[in-house]
Structure 1
Amino acid sequence: MNATLIRTEFKLYLRDISSVFLGIVMSPMILAILGSIPSFRAPDPALGGRSVIALYVPILLGVTITMVGLTTMPIPIATYRERGILKRFATTPARPGDVLMSQALVQLAILFTGSLLVLGIGRAAFGVSVPRNLGAFVVAFILCCAASFGIGLVLASLRSSKVAQGIGTVLFFPLMFFGGLWVPREVMPETIRGISDFTPLGAGVQAMQDASAGSWPQWLHLGVLAGYGIIAWLVAKKLFRWT
């Protein structure tokens, strides 16, 4: 692994203020704003004794995963190929794959930073307990990441970075809705919640919420996440070109 290349990719990432905001700052900031509402911190019998803010921790983890997977990861990769950077790297000791691996490590580091901030703020500021079924939570989190990053790699396979960015933005907002950012899944109409079950973020959020409450996620949601991940990675492998 080329340490110099990784450091360079980190520096390039940190120069893009919008990417830093989306990947690290936005979800913790939303959590802090919601947590400042007293009624959101109180246990609600209609939510099984959980508070609204406790529901929003998995939602915002899903938002962080989706932001990184669909908005901040595909653009640099598509731009590198579009500008011929990957092709030029093929003539140097640093192979094109090294560039992609370095970019992946940067994006994963950003994802984990944003996720740890959400979990840390939820615990320290609002008393949200750690997931009661930690093993199941980790499984749900990883599958959600695999699905989101797979879709992001499909976008990165497109010939134009602007097209990748445009499609990622179009996908982002409906995914946020079905993931429960504006209306938590628990209060969605049954039909909408049924549709949400078959979206990557809706399935991921519900799986993480189930694990947070101490139960094992439904196999439907884990299967949906695994399906998106497998199909997206296979499509990305088929479509991706270095030049």
Structure 2
Amino acid sequence: MSASTPAGPVPPATDRGPVLGRLALTELKLFVRERVGPVFAVGLPLALLVVFGNLPFYNEHRDDLDGFTLLDVYVPILSAFVLAMLSFTVMPQVLAGYREKGVLRRLRTTPVGPARVLAAQLLVNLATAAVSVAAVLLVARFAFGVALPRRLGGYLISIALAALALLAIGLFVAAASPNGRIANAVGATLFYVMMFFAGLFLPIAAMPPLLRHISRAAPLGAAVQALTDATEGHSPHPLQLATLAAYALVFGAGAMRSFRWE
């Protein structure tokens, strides 16, 4: 996704309304106007869900999955897919594109500051993720009969930590990349590597022991395992939640420290 329409300068803090709120609203309008982000973040996961849901192979109950279907297994993975798409392919290219086009340099003369620029992107992508994940869960339930998460509280905690962890990594990529092309290349590489360890191409349970250990340490792998536990009615393992929190803190701080205006 490219930011073809630069954000305008933010009014001074003395104007009505908080700076962060107005900046986030402006970013949301640009995000929707571009259409690419909503299509990939909301439309693509739903399209994959519809394809999987209409394949008989994905709807057969399997003994090796404790009686669940492959579609049951893939719904948490598609929730993680939403977060990965936003974090690694949408947001880094937008922010790096802003830097390349000089938008960030102009924002530097306003009361915005780097923390608000990053926070506005974080808020927009969190809101988009919430809408998309809710759509995946509801369509899976009412169109294909997939049960909603049995531990809703554990699912919400897991998805929130996963979103913060992955978006923090995406912010770090955006902050460190000098232009949109590099941000797009790095983000795309991270996306496919992370989705492999999340089980999109090979279920985690079918991975060799070494890959399963790497998956547990990877942010998206930890997220999928926590979401799967909550979906099946178990409390997410504290180690998985701690792993996600650690990624959020480390890469969030790294994004703040490495942020450059130009």
Q: How does 1:9-158 map to 2 (within 5 A)?
A: 9-92=27-110, 98-158=116-176
Contact 1:89–1:96 (CA under 8 A) maintained in structure 2: no
TM-score by length of 1: 0.91
Aligned-residue offset at 1:233:
1.0
Aligned-residue offset at 1:85:
1.4
Alignment partner, residue 244 of structure 2 = 225
Note closer, same or farther for the CA distance 1:227–1:22 as it changes in structure 2 (3 Å cut): same
Which has the larger displacement, 105-114 or 177-186? 105-114
Alignment partner, residue 190 of structure 1 = 209
AA aligned opposite 1:132: R
Match of 1:173 among 175, 192, 201: 192
Could you list the per-position Cα deviations for residues 153-186 of structure 1 after superposition, in whole angstroms to 9, with x for gaps in the alignment? 1111122222111111111111111101111212
Aligned-residue offset at 1:118:
0.7
Note closer, same or farther for the CA distance 1:22–1:96 as it changes in structure 2 (3 Å cut): same
Runs of 5+ unmatched residues, structure 2: 1-17
Between the aligned partners of 2:114 and 2:259, the Cα distance in structure 1 is: 12
AA aligned opposite 1:141: I
Between the aligned partners of 2:209 and 2:81, the Cα distance in structure 1 is: 22
AA aligned opposite 1:169: A
AA aligned opposite 1:48: D
Contact 2:92–2:170 (CA under 8 A) maintained in structure 1: yes
AA aligned opposite 1:86: L
Between the aligned partners of 1:193 and 1:94, the Cα distance in structure 2 is: 43
Matched residue SS, 2:202: coil
Runs of 5+ unmatched residues, structure 1: none
Contact 2:100–2:179 (CA under 8 A) maintained in structure 1: yes
Between the aligned partners of 2:158 and 2:146, the Cα distance in structure 1 is: 18
Alignment partner, residue 215 of structure 1 = 234
Note closer, same or farther for the CA distance 1:39–1:69 as it changes in structure 2 (3 Å cut): same
Matched residue SS, 1:128: coil
Matched residue SS, 1:49: coil
Between the aligned partners of 2:119 and 2:242, the Cα distance in structure 1 is: 27
Between the aligned partners of 1:191 and 1:93, the Cα distance in structure 2 is: 49
Match of 2:255 among 231, 236, 239: 236
TM-score by length of 2: 0.85
Aligned-residue offset at 1:136:
1.2
Aligned-residue offset at 1:93:
6.2
Between the aligned partners of 1:100 and 1:143, the Cα distance in structure 2 is: 17
RMSD (Å) for aligned C-alpha atoms: 2.0
Between the aligned partners of 1:100 and 1:16, the Cα distance in structure 2 is: 19
Aligned-residue offset at 1:193:
1.5
Aligned-residue offset at 1:187:
2.0
Aligned-residue offset at 1:42:
2.9
Aligned-residue offset at 1:97:
5.2
Matched residue SS, 1:214: coil
Contact 2:114–2:256 (CA under 8 A) maintained in structure 1: no
Between the aligned partners of 1:231 and 1:4, the Cα distance in structure 2 is: 28
Which has the larger displacement, 216-225 or 175-184? 216-225
Between the aligned partners of 2:259 and 2:180, the Cα distance in structure 1 is: 13
